[in-house]
A = this chain, B = another copy of it.
Amino acid sequence: MKAVFRNVFSAVSRSLNPNPHSSIFLPTLRTFSSIILPPSPFPFRNNAFRLLSATSHSSSMAEDGTSSSVEKQFESFRCQLEESGGLRERVRAIAMEIESATRLMHANLLLVHQSRSVPEVLEKASSQIAVLKKLYNQLGVVLQECPGQYYRYHGEWRSETQTAVSLLTFMHWLETGNLLMHTEAEQKLGLNASDFGLDIEDYLIGVCFMSNELPRYVVNQVTAGDYDCPRKVLKFLTDLHAAFRMLNLRNDFLRKKFDGMKYDLRRVEEVYYDVKIRGLADKAEEVSYDIKIGGPDDHGDPAGDEGTHKQS
């Protein structure tokens, strides 16, 4: 029993503590401090003394000896704030690199709207996945320095991560016609739940962003003569929307994003309606029934494209 509680204690001691480095991670602290400060065993103490000695004459604290303890406390605050500030900056810096990697990915993916062959588009975009993986690995290393503070700095990288997820899920859908799972997304980013995981809400928001891309994709595919695309996208979006509806979302950003998904759904329905009422979809279906090998995602693979090209 005692042992058990010791476990809990030692365990918790690394998790609920909002500022654990004060005592535990002094090595980390020193090494880190030494980066941004003149290499001295006691980087701030000296000028700290200067600072306070200025006031300490007229200081009641000096008189009853409390001054030094206040001094020590703020000295340690200074270290910890500087450390957490520096850590935040490093996280921010990596997040910015992630952002520019996703920008490149997006630029490549946009070509799909000009009916470039999907494989060609995917190949280009995929080249950035390795970069992302590297960056998230760096991020994990930085966060290892402050166990239990994932959510303290989360705000610094979350929107970049949502964008990354939206691009990965879109690519995966183009390739397979299926939804990229949370665990699959973690794999692609080199994350894992047991170490440095992908926040569920970030994943879900990313999926919503991906859904926003689909109406445009359908419109351009139909323009390019792929009349079966609306049917497939509609199926995918309908199922995705139904799955989201299972979630009891509180009234926050994710909820707002999800509410937007229904407009994507409606737009795709309208495009499907247009091809249907002109009897174009039917032809498309016949065709796609002939070449039914690749499944509903055939439009994603070369064969599928040829298929659609044939009939246009």
A interface residue numbers (CB < 8 A to B): 1-2, 4-9, 11-20, 22-23, 36-38, 44, 47-48, 50-52, 54-56, 58-61, 63-64, 66-67, 69-71, 73-75, 77-78, 80-82, 85, 88, 96-97, 100, 103-104, 106-108, 110-111, 113-114, 116, 124, 131, 140, 143-144, 147-152, 154, 177-179, 181-182, 193-201, 204, 216, 219-220, 222-223, 232, 235-236, 238-250, 266, 269-278, 280, 295-297
CB <8 Å contact, B295 and A64: yes
Rounded to whole Å, the gap between the CB of A227 and the closest CB of chain B is 9
CB <8 Å contact, A17 and B197: yes
Q: Which residues of B contact A36 (CB under 8 A)?
A: 96-97, 100
Interface of A is mostly: helix
A99 to B245 Cα, complex, angstroms? 13
Task: Given A151-B152, A239-B67, A250-B85, answer yes or no on A18-B198 (Cβ-Cβ < 8 Å).
Answer: yes
CB <8 Å contact, A12 and B55: no
Q: Which residues of B contact A140 (CB under 8 A)?
A: 16
Rounded to whole Å, the gap between the CB of A108 and the closest CB of chain B is 7
List 30 A–B pairs whose Cβ atoms lie within 8 Å, in order of A's numbering.
A4-B5, A7-B9, A12-B195, A14-B15, A15-B148, A18-B150, A23-B193, A38-B131, A48-B246, A55-B239, A58-B235, A59-B235, A60-B296, A61-B239, A63-B295, A66-B178, A69-B181, A70-B181, A70-B239, A73-B181, A73-B243, A77-B204, A77-B246, A78-B247, A81-B201, A81-B249, A113-B238, A151-B152, A219-B269, A277-B280
